[in-house]
Structure 1
């Protein structure tokens, strides 16, 4: 299938990388379709999203008429300023510069949440099987570079969901025990406000490690590697993973990741309670999958249920999203759904202008 047959460009812009995909016209009638082309880019290699888009589309290649981009940050009035990356996007500007007929910008966690109903069982990793309320609210929490949250509300028809964005990751961190109280005091020496994102995300790992370094011995080899690293997070996570696999003892790294998982369990419960997500909670994002070796199901659920076995929380299904492309697919679904609604409103197929070629 050629580039010229693409109807929609979908994107997932995270703080670290951007993934773009092209979806065919046939996807309008086939929910959950695979893109005909897909490519990922490291954001640090580009000064802005326009440069990424230009490389992906290529000189002389046809530009699909429609685009839907999921962005790690709040979206308002078709514009977005990314939370953990100094990029700004404007839908109307993208239309003019690249020749799109229409561009939609949505929050990346909204995109991820939108694809949850389409996830096959093999794309999920169970933490708690639970007893889902159906139809019930579904919630997604994603510890990545930051901490993303979103949820889906069942449509009155019971057949569809309405996505809701959230910036709940920036809510104030609430310690649950003495250790976390000390962590909060430690963090308040560094900043005036401490959010859950500050202690439960990829970028939080170095801070948690520094805190744990005051309580546990840091091996010289790890101290040296962390000091040399441009980004200490992969170094610390890697040390903890090797320790979990029995390859090299590293208590401080293991304690760091255990603390992050404890905080994640608590904020996941907060999200369920605030949205009444009795249909299920889903842990999304690539960094969440890196937490699997450290996330003990019994411990997670004990914190998640607040130690109350009769709590409604114990019945909530909790799963890892194993599909790393869920946000990209969700952006594709949102864009295609928008086009389908436009078709239904006009009573005829949406007109597809001839593709515009880049100069």
Structure 2
């Protein structure tokens, strides 16, 4: 049986894998830097060429599914946080594929959530997970992804969302000051403007009038060398809690609220000991409702690849036997 190509494409890195249909394991995984390739098609060909040199049988590959950090509404996809732009149909023909599924990356990540094992997630705070209920997802990385999955007739339906671009709402005087500083700089201030790598830098600038890059901020907060950087990270985690609570309320996510993305797993105890959970629950009269919803940090290494594989199965299944 021919292998199929899977990918999880963010604004910074593209994670590629090969998989045999019907199998959960991946035959090959490689992470490529998006900036190293002029187009997505070039990155795909580079990965497949390397896989072939490693002895993988990619010549008969005819199916591919790509999760991408961008809205996918029609044939043309132009990435928000990277310069790649392409036609899905043209890319399918260029790569000589029979099936090319392109979906929002957080819809793919959300699709993996009902199937995560205990080893693939870490509980943050209390709450009680209810079976067969909506599950929410939020994830800061290059941008801010928001999605969820809804149970329907024995299967799960993933939501493609751009909820990361909702307007930011401050919860205290420090956050009002941050919002006012960013209003002057940008006009509209979205949640993504704060809950992303760029957001860490902007929070730090607004609070401390100092320009630092995100890795330097998190590094100094983690090693305890900067109280200012620790304050920045604490503020980031608190804002994430408020926005995650908003998503949970919007979706009625009594099946759990999950945190994905590339930033939070690097924060370690700075996140688990932060005010994230307190701010998640802090919704006035609805606080008891939020207190019953469990929150989890996704620790599975490549969850979106599993999710996009499941979405490809759904796409292909109606055509089997046709």
Q: Shared topology, TM-score over 0.5?
A: yes
Q: What residue is the counterpart of 1:302 in the other structure?
A: 278
Once residues 2 and 165 of structure 2 are traced to their aligned partners in structure 1, the CA distance between those partners, rounded to angstroms, is 37
Q: Are residues 1:323 and 2:300 paired?
A: yes
Kindly provide the CA deviation profile for residues 87-135 of structure 1, in whole angstroms up to 9, marking residues without a partner as x. 1132211111110011011000000000111111011111034112221
What is the correspondence of 1:97-112 to structure 2 with a 5 Å cutoff?
97-112=94-109
Q: Are residues 1:180 and 2:175 paired?
A: yes
- Which runs of at least 4 in structure 1 moved beyond 2 Å after TM superposition? 296-299, 307-310
What is the correspondence of 1:1-359 to structure 2 with a 5 Å cutoff?
5-27=1-23, 33-58=24-49, 61-155=58-152, 157=153, 159-214=154-209, 226=212, 232-243=213-224, 249-297=225-273, 299-306=275-282, 311-343=288-320, 346=322
Matched pairs, number: 315
- Where do 5+ consecutive residues of structure 2 fail to align? 53-57
Aligned partners of 2:13 and 2:33 also within 8 Å? yes
- Taking only aligned residues, the RMSD between alpha carbons, in angstroms, comes to 1.8
Structure 1 length as normaliser, TM-score? 0.83
Shift of 1:47: 1.5
Once residues 280 and 296 of structure 1 are traced to their aligned partners in structure 2, the CA distance between those partners, rounded to angstroms, is 17
Q: What residue is the counterpart of 1:350 in the other structure?
A: none
- Where do 5+ consecutive residues of structure 1 fail to align? 28-32, 227-231, 244-248, 347-359
Structure 2 length as normaliser, TM-score? 0.93
Kindly provide the CA deviation profile for residues 116-158 of structure 1, in whole angstroms up to 9, marking residues without a partner as x. 1111101111103411222110011010110000011111x3x
Once residues 91 and 47 of structure 1 are traced to their aligned partners in structure 2, the CA distance between those partners, rounded to angstroms, is 16
Kindly provide the CA deviation profile for residues 265-297 of structure 1, in whole angstroms up to 9, marking residues without a partner as x. 000000011111111000012212123332245
Query: 2:306 is paired with a residue of what secondary structure?
Result: helix
Q: What residue is the counterpart of 1:353 in the other structure?
A: none
Once residues 242 and 275 of structure 1 are traced to their aligned partners in structure 2, the CA distance between those partners, rounded to angstroms, is 37
Once residues 200 and 66 of structure 2 are traced to their aligned partners in structure 1, the CA distance between those partners, rounded to angstroms, is 28
Once residues 310 and 265 of structure 2 are traced to their aligned partners in structure 1, the CA distance between those partners, rounded to angstroms, is 23
Shift of 1:21: 0.8
Kindly provide the CA deviation profile for residues 27-74 of structure 1, in whole angstroms up to 9, marking residues without a partner as x. 3xxxxx011111110111112111111101118751511111000010
Shift of 1:317: 1.0
Once residues 238 and 270 of structure 2 are traced to their aligned partners in structure 1, the CA distance between those partners, rounded to angstroms, is 10
Structure having the higher Rg: 1
Question: RCO (CA 8 Å, sep 6+): is it higher in 1 or 2?
Answer: 1
Query: 1:64 is paired with a residue of what secondary structure?
Result: coil
Query: 1:154 is paired with a residue of what secondary structure?
Result: strand
Once residues 204 and 286 of structure 1 are traced to their aligned partners in structure 2, the CA distance between those partners, rounded to angstroms, is 13
Once residues 82 and 75 of structure 1 are traced to their aligned partners in structure 2, the CA distance between those partners, rounded to angstroms, is 10
